[in-house]
Chains A and B, each alone.
Chain A
Amino acid sequence: AQTVTQSQPEMSVQEAETVTLSCTYDTSESDYYLFWYKQPPSRQMILVIRQEAYKQQNATENRFSVNFQKAAKSFSLKISDSQLGDAAMYFCAYIRGGGSNYKLTFGKGTLLTVNP
């Protein structure tokens, strides 16, 4: 079974600084997708960034970028120029590729605090 591990239960960063959240996963598949989702306090979970395993180029979305190391099965999220609104629980998630795979597997999350 696929597992997703987030080894940092909590992280903190100063406003305007950079922070990196770690994620590792275990799979024997070569075709899969990885995601980072953000869950702000009392608000809905939203997608931050998505990476297809077959793409070697790391995904970026404005201040958010990933470091995808396929051989190491590592998928870290870098947040640059941190803002107060970035404070949230961040979840790393994995899904196997293919047309009949629907189960998104989440890690336990990392709670990010942004200090002013």
Chain B
Amino acid sequence: GAGVSQSPRYKVAKRGQDVALRCDPISGHVSLFWYQQALGQGPEFLTYFQNEAQLDKSGLPSDRFFAERPEGSVSTLKIQRTQQEDSAVYLCASSLLGGGWGTQYFGPGTRLLVL
């Protein structure tokens, strides 16, 4: 069926606001990844879920960033008290099996601009 979808596609936030970014992975995919892509750079790993378990959150830049995947499907990345340096494209990817070595299917990303 459908690929990975993300919403919203664009988000403008005032500094200090909280934002929530949603990812709908491909149905049945075990693994879900979040990445942050700054302008002109490659994606940087943020966090990884295997089903509902968050197995790696080593890439989250600060405790203002929080991610969840409560039922092992849809995931939300929340950023509290946004700062200008949080401006980036946030990519979500899913993979059929557990682990990071399989093919990752990426969503279109959410472009976040913090003013």
Q: Which residues of A contact B (CB under 8 A)?
A: 4, 33, 37, 43-47, 50, 91, 93, 95, 97, 99-109
Contacts and interface: CB of A to CB of B under 8 A. Distances in A.
Contacts of A44: 3-4, 106-109
Could you tell me the dominant secondary structure of chain B's interface residues?
loop
Q: Top 5 A-B pairs ranked by shortest CB distance?
A: A106-B42, A102-B48, A102-B100, A45-B106, A103-B45
Contacts of B108: 43-44
Nearest to B50: A102
Interface residues of B, number: 28
Of B59, B101, B105, the most chain A CB neighbours within 10 A belong to: B101
A104 B99 contact: no
Given A43-B108, A101-B100, A108 B55 contact: no
Interface in B61-114: 91, 93, 98-101, 103-109
A104 B100 contact: yes
A43 B4 CA distance: 12
A103 B58 contact: yes
